[in-house]
């Protein structure tokens, strides 16, 4: 198989959301947006979710397809899972292809905070330089049949992405970290965010605070209607906390990606990324 | 006899007035909109650290109206989502526009008198197919004073007397 340059390869494979570097990480945002982040009342309520791969926050661009479709190489689509306040996990929630986005609905019946996210097994990629010195990458480890003969500088990365949001019905309950990948740890409750108040969040990679200086980007919805995207760049402190006070209400996307050296034989780098949608309301 | 009745009435009124630490006249403006849904309105007291200590009034649609309680966003986060039965006594139906008189006896939601000091009075209104307004103003419990809040859109002028 002829190896295409990376950009074309990504396009060909339809994997715009997969990332190569921190620059690339910011190039293609993936997100899900809930219709509601807070619900009240005795009856159970449903929320609607839109899922898309798009830099135009939160305008749909590329669909996730149907949850029952098969992706490239026969791989399963990401599973949409709601984790209830009591820790129980839903079955995979069906989503449907609306060409530019996918959509789903979830009913929340427990009181407390739900984690709702797209889950996919960690994926291996191997990067290399071919005989002509051109960079490429393939799915799989260094034993992949698709690596051209004579390739050098082989490096294998295991990528794990979280694409998620939190929704509370009646009470808010503490976020319980999963210990896997990059995720929100302690701090301000993500369903209690008001303009002009300090938001302080700890980010965890595999259950441990991220390194000092880890970069985090916040982007407010409505980029299409602004000449400047106005992304907010933050850096984690020594305890892995970021801190910000937001002037404008709206839905926001938090993006971050971290690499660390792998302990696993045959894997060089563990890469974890996070795409967290949250809502800030006027005080 | 007539005189005695007057004295008795005056004593009752006086007793009530003594018990009230706050007297609030809240104007709910008549809005020239169609349809007009009566707003949800909450009035509550927080300590200086923004911990809710007492709800003075909560007006909402009584039948199946809790699904919109979240739209009183500040009330919802500070009281509503954590509230038990203690707010039942101050919960009532939404009101017609006009001047509404409210009293607060300086007691917390368990009925215990609160110590003198600085507190925050919160007034929030949210109307279906309309807007939301919110005031948060500091007052000194145990020290006489008068606070006048200017009209917004969903809330008219509010006069607060601290006794």
CATH of the domain at B87: 2.60.40.4070
**pLDDT tens digits along A39-52:** 999 899 999 999 99
Assess if residue B5 is contained within a domain: no
Please tell me the pTM assigned to this model.
0.85
Q: What's the pLDDT at B8? A: 46
Assess if residue B97 is contained within a domain: yes
> What is the ipTM metric for this complex?
0.80
Q: Measured between CA atoms, how close is A62 to chain B, in angstroms?
A: 32
The B-side interface with A (CB below 8 A) comprises: 64, 66-70, 73-74, 76-77, 80-82, 132, 134
**pLDDT tens digits along A162-195:** 999 999 999 999 999 999 999 999 899 999 999 9
Assess if residue B135 is contained within a domain: yes
Assess if residue B4 is contained within a domain: no
Picking from B66, B74, B134, the nearest residue to A40 by CB comes out as: B66
Q: What's the pLDDT at A27? A: 47
Q: Which domain holds residue B85?
A: 21-162
Nearest to A1 by CA among A124, A149, A154: A149
The total number of structural domains in chain B stands at: 1
Assess if residue B76 is contained within a domain: yes
Q: Which pairs from A91-95 meet CB under 8 Å and 24+ separation?
A: A92/A67, A93/A67, A94/A66, A94/A67, A94/A68, A95/A49, A95/A51, A95/A64, A95/A66, A95/A67
Nearest to A282 by CA among B67, B80, B132: B132
Question: What is the average pLDDT across A22-29?
Answer: 52
| Separation between Cα atoms, residue A283 and residue B135, nearest integer Å | 10
Domains and CATH numbers, chain A: 6-123+156-280 (2.60.40.1930)
Q: Measured between CA atoms, how close is B78 to chain A, in angstroms?
A: 10
**Sheet of strand A45-53, all strands in order from the earlier edge strand to the far edge:** A30-34, A45-53, A102-108, A96-97
Nearest to A113 by CA among A33, A191, A187: A191
> Taken in order A32, A34, A35, A37, is the CA torsion positive or negative?
negative
Query: How far apart, in Å, are the Cα atoms of A136 and each of A10, A258, B79?
Result: 10, 21, 56
Assess if residue B1 is contained within a domain: no
Assess if residue B6 is contained within a domain: no
**pLDDT tens digits along A192-249:** 999 999 999 999 999 999 999 999 999 999 999 999 999 999 999 999 999 999 999 9
Assess if residue B12 is contained within a domain: no
Q: Measured between CA atoms, how close is A112 to chain B, in angstroms?
A: 10
Q: Residue A243: phi, psi to the nearest 5?
A: -140, 135
* Residue B40 near residue B59, CB atoms below 8 Å: yes
Q: Is the pLDDT of residue A72 over 60?
A: yes
Q: Is the pLDDT of residue A6 over 90?
A: no
């Amino acid at each position: 198989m002829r190896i295409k340059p990376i950009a074309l390869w990504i396009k060909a494979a339809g994997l715009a959301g997969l990332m190569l570097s921190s620059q690339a990480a910011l190039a293609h945002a993936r997100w899900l947006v809930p219709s509601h982040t807070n619900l009240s009342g005795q009856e159970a309520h449903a929320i609607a979710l839109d899922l898309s791969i798009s830099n135009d926050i939160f305008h749909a661009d590329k669909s996730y397809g149907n949850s029952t479709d098969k992706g490239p190489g026969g791989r399963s689509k990401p599973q949409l899972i709601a984790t209830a306040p009591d820790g129980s996990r839903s079955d995979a929630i069906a989503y449907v292809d609306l060409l530019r986005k996918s959509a789903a609905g979830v009913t929340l019946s427990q009181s407390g905070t739900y984690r709702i996210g797209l889950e996919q097994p960690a994926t291996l990629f191997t990067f290399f330089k071919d005989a002509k010195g051109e960079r490429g990458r393939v799915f799989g480890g260094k034993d992949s049949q698709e690596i051209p003969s004579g390739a050098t500088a082989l490096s294998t990365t295991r990528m794990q992405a979280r694409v998620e949001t939190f929704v509370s019905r009646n009470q808010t309950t503490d976020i319980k970290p999963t210990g896997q990948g990059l995720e929100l740890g302690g701090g301000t409750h993500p369903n209690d965010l008001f303009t002009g108040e300090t938001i302080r969040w700890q980010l965890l990679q595999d259950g441990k605070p991220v390194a000092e200086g880890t970069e985090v980007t916040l982007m407010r919805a409505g980029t299409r209607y602004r000449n400047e995207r106005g992304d907010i760049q933050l850096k984690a402190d020594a305890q892995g906390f970021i801190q910000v006070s937001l002037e404008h209400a709206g839905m926001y996307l938090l993006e971050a990606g971290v690499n660390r050296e792998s302990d696993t034989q045959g894997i060089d780098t563990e890469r974890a990324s996070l795409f967290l949608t949250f809502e800030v309301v006027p005080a | 006899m007539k005189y005695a009745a007057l004295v008795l009435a005056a004593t009752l009124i006086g007793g009530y007035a003594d018990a009230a630490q706050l007297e609030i006249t809240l104007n709910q403006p008549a809005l020239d909109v169609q349809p007009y849904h009566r707003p949800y309105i909450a009035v509550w007291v927080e300590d200086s650290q923004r911990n809710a200590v007492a709800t003075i009034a909560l007006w909402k649609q009584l039948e199946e109206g809790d699904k919109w309680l979240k739209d009183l966003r500040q009330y919802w986060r500070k009281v509503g989502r954590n509230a038990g039965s203690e707010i039942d006594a101050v919960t009532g139906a939404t009101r017609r526009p006009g001047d509404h008189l409210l009293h607060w006896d300086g007691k917390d939601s368990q009925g215990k008198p609160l110590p003198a000091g600085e507190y925050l009075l919160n007034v929030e209104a949210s109307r279906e197919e309309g807007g939301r307004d919110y005031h948060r103003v500091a007052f000194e419990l145990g020290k006489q004073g008068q606070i006048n809040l200017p009209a917004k859109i969903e809330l008219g002028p509010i006069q607060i007397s601290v006794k």
